[in-house]
Structure 1
Amino acid sequence: MSVTQQQTVPEQFVEFFDDAATFPPGLAPVERAVTDHVARRASLLDGAVGPAVLALADLPEAAGIAAGLDLTGGPVEASVVTPAGALGQALAARAEVAPHLRIVAVELKTDPTDRAVWTEQVREAAQVTDLPVYVELTAGQVADGALDELAGTPLRLKYRTGGIEAHLFPTPQELGDVLTGAVAAGLPFKLTAGLHEAIRYTNATTGFTHHGFLNIALATEAARAGEDREVVAGWLAETDPERLARAGAASDGRWRESFTSFGTCSVGEPADALRRLDLFPA
């Protein structure tokens, strides 16, 4: 990232959009995703984009593609989505994909069907101290005390905020309780799925109501300030763009210490959403 980009992108949004182009609904081919990710280094948007989010199985192809690109800005940084039980493979891949690809984080799935199994997977992941590991948890696991398993370890939380069915979208109260729980446990978290806009909205085609990532940022800020669950959920339910834009402009951005990033299959989409609120440069 250039000095100019660092100065121009608002600090609270630097490396906030993780580039998950190969995942639904975008489903970009690995070649296009990696090529576009590197080409974006010449644009302002690069300052707001985090690592490329890649499936563990796609790493060899991605490394081969990166090897043929101009990497004068450094290797392609990748966050690796890792199946349950495959943590060792993800860690070993660091050496296998170097020097063209650098793994900077692991997003570890767990087996939510068996508490004994997923708690052991969490304990194994907690032994990793030289790389951020985001553990993906379901609502059921959180209700079963999973945040307590992560608390006090180097681990971070990954949580889904949408999907291809309506029941996969948590309500403002449900998501607010997860955010509040993560903040109380001192757990940084990243989010994924359904976060296409800054402000909460209902998709006219699917009828699904999506969370807004700016709503989540302000809800996280409220949770960090010790506000009660009604206030936190209220920020998640807010749809007034003027109120949200004012609050976003006034924020000191410390919510990023908790809400580290979110995955998006189109990194230009969230930037455009912020531009419409005058929170991101043209």
Structure 2
Amino acid sequence: MLTSLKQLLARIVDYAGIFPPAQLSLPEAINIYDRAHASPHCWMLDRFVLPATRLPEFIKLLPSEDASSSQPWSLSVIVSGNWRSGLEQIYQATKRDYKPSIQISALEVAPLSPVEIQSIRLEIPAEVDTFFEIPFNVDLEPYLDILHQIGAGAKLRTGGITSNAFPDSTQLGQRILSLAKARIPFKATAGLHHALRGHCLTHALNETSTTMHGFLNVAIASAFAYQQAVTLDEVVAILEESSIDSFQLSDIEIGWHEFSLPILAIEHSRQQFFRSFGSCSFEEPIHELYDLKLL
């Protein structure tokens, strides 16, 4: 695989197998995540995503210490509803030692007002990456101010099981550019199973298909935006590219039109800006990359 693409996609998938449309049982999802960590493509895998309310169940289902995989279980825990109760569940789950060990390395918080974000952040350990979901139908500026103050990240919902859950390219491009300008990291969730933008089936009744964003498009657009070298129209154009031939790929850089992303710029963007995307499938992104002859 090209070095530039491996840098772009390293630890980019947060596995969310218990969520729609896959909606696997927790034992099934744990088994798939454990196998993925032992696969040749484990370099693309990051955290296991689950709600705070299911932490006790997750802990009971953990493979035994002598299982084939003994790596610490890195979790991204979703806090929604009564966030105080959710944080208490997290605290209770982490004050004991487990074998194999678990590490809550990120929190994903359901939509809150900026004032509520200020309150909850005071109760979250500084070493835990925290991503607050920001809907597309709200004024972004107050959120940028508070996230910058508290050193937290944003979570963008890039899809769902119905067509109206997908932001259009302009909405998504505006958010990416605004977050890049404010130097606020983000993660994406939902709708990014496919490498490139395309017309795909939805999972909703009475709907046949919709246009879905591609994780390569989002990652490349985000890296260029973080360089602050592109306009909104250019970010939208990158998000709407549907052919891998639109990009110039080599070991040392990724290019698009007259723009280029050297390895260091890609690495910096992934570390500081576009952190990951949640996917209910780990295999689908892998298969997409094989279909494009990128793996």
TM-score (norm 2): 0.82
Once the two structures are superposed, what CA deviation does each residue of 1:44-75 show, in whole Å capped at 9, x if it has no partner?
A: 12221111101111111111111536165333
Assess, with a 3 A threshold, how the Cα gap between structure 1 residues 32 and 38 changes in structure 2: closer, same or farther.
Answer: same
1:208 is aligned, of 182, 207, 210, to: 210
Give distance in 2, aligned partners of 1:24 and 1:57.
17
CA contact (8 A) 1:132 1:154 kept: no
CA contact (8 A) 2:21 2:161 kept: no
Partner of 2:9: 13
TM-score (norm 1): 0.86
Give distance in 2, aligned partners of 1:241 and 1:89.
46
CA contact (8 A) 1:122 1:135 kept: no
Unaligned runs of 5+ in 1: 1-6
Unaligned runs of 5+ in 2: 203-207, 255-260
What is the percent sequence identity of the aligned residues?
A: 27
Give distance in 2, aligned partners of 1:126 and 1:211.
34
Matches within 5 A, 1:125-144: 125=121, 128=124, 129-143=126-140
The alpha carbon displacement at 1:168 in A equals: 1.7
Coordinate RMSD, CA, aligned:
2.6
Give distance in 1, aligned partners of 2:170 and 2:212.
14
Give distance in 2, aligned partners of 1:245 and 1:210.
22
Larger relative contact order (Cα-Cα within 8 Å, sequence gap ≥ 6): 2
Assess, with a 3 A threshold, how the Cα gap between structure 1 residues 97 and 208 changes in structure 2: closer, same or farther.
Answer: farther
Assess, with a 3 A threshold, how the Cα gap between structure 1 residues 239 and 39 changes in structure 2: closer, same or farther.
Answer: closer
Assess, with a 3 A threshold, how the Cα gap between structure 1 residues 126 and 217 changes in structure 2: closer, same or farther.
Answer: farther
The alpha carbon displacement at 1:29 in A equals: 0.5
AA matched with 1:271: I
AA matched with 1:212: G
The alpha carbon displacement at 1:80 in A equals: 0.5
4+ residue segments displaced more than 3 Å: 96-100, 141-144, 244-249
CA contact (8 A) 1:45 1:268 kept: no
Once the two structures are superposed, what CA deviation does each residue of 1:115-152 show, in whole Å capped at 9, x if it has no partner?
A: 4xx42234431553121111111112344631222113
Q: Does 1:65 pair with 2:61?
A: yes
CA contact (8 A) 1:162 1:193 kept: yes
CA contact (8 A) 2:186 2:275 kept: yes
CA contact (8 A) 1:215 1:244 kept: no
Give distance in 2, aligned partners of 1:247 and 1:161.
28
SS of residue paired to 2:195: coil
SS of residue paired to 2:94: helix
Aligned residues: 270
SS of residue paired to 2:235: helix
